[in-house]
Structure 1
Amino acid sequence: MSEPVRDRLVTLRRSLHRHPEPAWREFYTTARLVEEIRAIGVDELAVGPDAYDPADRMAVPDKDLEPWVERARERGADAALLERMAGGNTGAVAVLERGEGPTIGLRVDIDALFIEESTDAAHDPASEGFRSEIEETMHACGHDVHMTWGLAALERIADSDFAGRLVVFFQPAEEVSGGGCPMAKSEFAEGLDYLLAVHVGLDHPTGEVVAGIEKPLAMCHVDATIEGSAAHAGKAPNEGANAMHAMGTAIENAYGIPRHADGMTRVNIGRAEAGTASNIIAERAHMECEARGETTALMEYVKRRLERTVKSAATMHDCRADVEVVSESPRADSDLELQTVVSEVATDVDGIDSVLPAAEFGASEDATFLMDRVQRAGGLASYLIVGTDHPTSHHTPTFDVDETSLEHGVAVLVGAIRALERRHPVAHAEPEDGSRTDVANAEVDG
Structure 2
Amino acid sequence: MTEPIRDRLVSLRRRFHRHPEPAWREFETTARLVEEIRSIGVDELAVGPDAYDPADRMAVPDGDLEPWLEGARERGADPTLLESMAGGNTGAVAVLERGEGPAIGLRVDIDGLFIEESISEDHEPVAEGFRSEIEGTMHACGHDVHMTWGLAVLEAIAESGFSGRLVVFFQPAEEVSGGGCPMAKSEYADDLDYLLAVHVGLDHPTGEVVAGIEKPLAMCHVDATIHGTSAHAGKEPNEGDNAMHAMGTAIENAYGIPRHRDGMTRVNVGYAEAGSASNVIAERAHVEAEARGETTELMEYMKDRLERAVESAATMHGCRADVEVVSESPRADSDSELQALLSEVATDVPGTESVVPAADFGASEDATFLMERVQREGGLATYLIVGTDHPTSHHTPTFDVDEASLAHGVDVLVESIRELERRHPVPQVDETEGGREQNEPAGNERNGNERDKSERNRSEREDER
Counterpart amino acid of 2:243? A
In structure 1, stretches of 5+ residues that fail to align are 437-446
Alignment of 1:104-143 (within 5 A): 104-143=104-143
For residue 151 of structure 2, what is the aligned residue in structure 1? 151
Describe the SS at the equivalent of 2:346: helix
Alignment of 1:59-138 (within 5 A): 59-138=59-138
CA contact (8 A) 2:230 2:242 kept: yes
Counterpart amino acid of 1:316? M
Counterpart amino acid of 1:246? A
Aligned partners of 1:286, 1:430: CA distance in 2, in Å?
A: 47
For residue 441 of structure 1, what is the aligned residue in structure 2? none
Runs of 4+ residues deviating >4 angstroms: none
For residue 37 of structure 1, what is the aligned residue in structure 2? 37
For residue 228 of structure 1, what is the aligned residue in structure 2? 228
Aligned partners of 2:427, 2:263: CA distance in 1, in Å?
A: 30
Counterpart amino acid of 2:274? A
For residue 440 of structure 2, what is the aligned residue in structure 1? none
CA contact (8 A) 2:429 2:435 kept: no
Counterpart amino acid of 1:397? P
Describe the SS at the equivalent of 1:198: strand
Once the two structures are TM-superposed, the CA of residue 377 in structure 1 deviates from its matched residue by: 0.2
For residue 171 of structure 2, what is the aligned residue in structure 1? 171
Counterpart amino acid of 1:258? P
Aligned partners of 1:225, 1:93: CA distance in 2, in Å?
A: 36
Q: Deviations over 1:345-397 (max 9, x none)?
A: 10011111100000000000000000000000000000000000000000000
Counterpart amino acid of 1:103? A
Once the two structures are TM-superposed, the CA of residue 434 in structure 1 deviates from its matched residue by: 2.4
Does residue 433 in structure 1 map to residue 433 in structure 2? yes
CA contact (8 A) 2:45 2:93 kept: yes
Describe the SS at the equivalent of 1:8: helix
Once the two structures are TM-superposed, the CA of residue 61 in structure 1 deviates from its matched residue by: 0.5
CA contact (8 A) 2:211 2:340 kept: yes
Aligned partners of 2:69, 2:79: CA distance in 1, in Å?
A: 10
For residue 398 of structure 2, what is the aligned residue in structure 1? 398
For residue 356 of structure 2, what is the aligned residue in structure 1? 356
Does residue 183 in structure 1 map to residue 177 in structure 2? no
Aligned partners of 2:192, 2:392: CA distance in 1, in Å?
A: 36
For residue 269 of structure 2, what is the aligned residue in structure 1? 269
Once the two structures are TM-superposed, the CA of residue 432 in structure 1 deviates from its matched residue by: 5.4
Aligned partners of 2:140, 2:399: CA distance in 1, in Å?
A: 6
For residue 323 of structure 2, what is the aligned residue in structure 1? 323
TM-score normalised by the chain length of structure 1: 0.97
How many equivalent residue pairs? 436
Does residue 372 in structure 1 map to residue 372 in structure 2? yes
Aligned partners of 1:403, 1:345: CA distance in 2, in Å?
A: 21
Aligned partners of 1:431, 1:264: CA distance in 2, in Å?
A: 23
In structure 2, stretches of 5+ residues that fail to align are 437-465
Describe the SS at the equivalent of 2:86: coil
For residue 347 of structure 2, what is the aligned residue in structure 1? 347
Report the identity percentage. 83
Once the two structures are TM-superposed, the CA of residue 427 in structure 1 deviates from its matched residue by: 1.2
Counterpart amino acid of 1:279? N
Describe the SS at the equivalent of 1:382: strand
For residue 449 of structure 2, what is the aligned residue in structure 1? none
For residue 442 of structure 1, what is the aligned residue in structure 2? none
Aligned partners of 1:191, 1:373: CA distance in 2, in Å?
A: 10
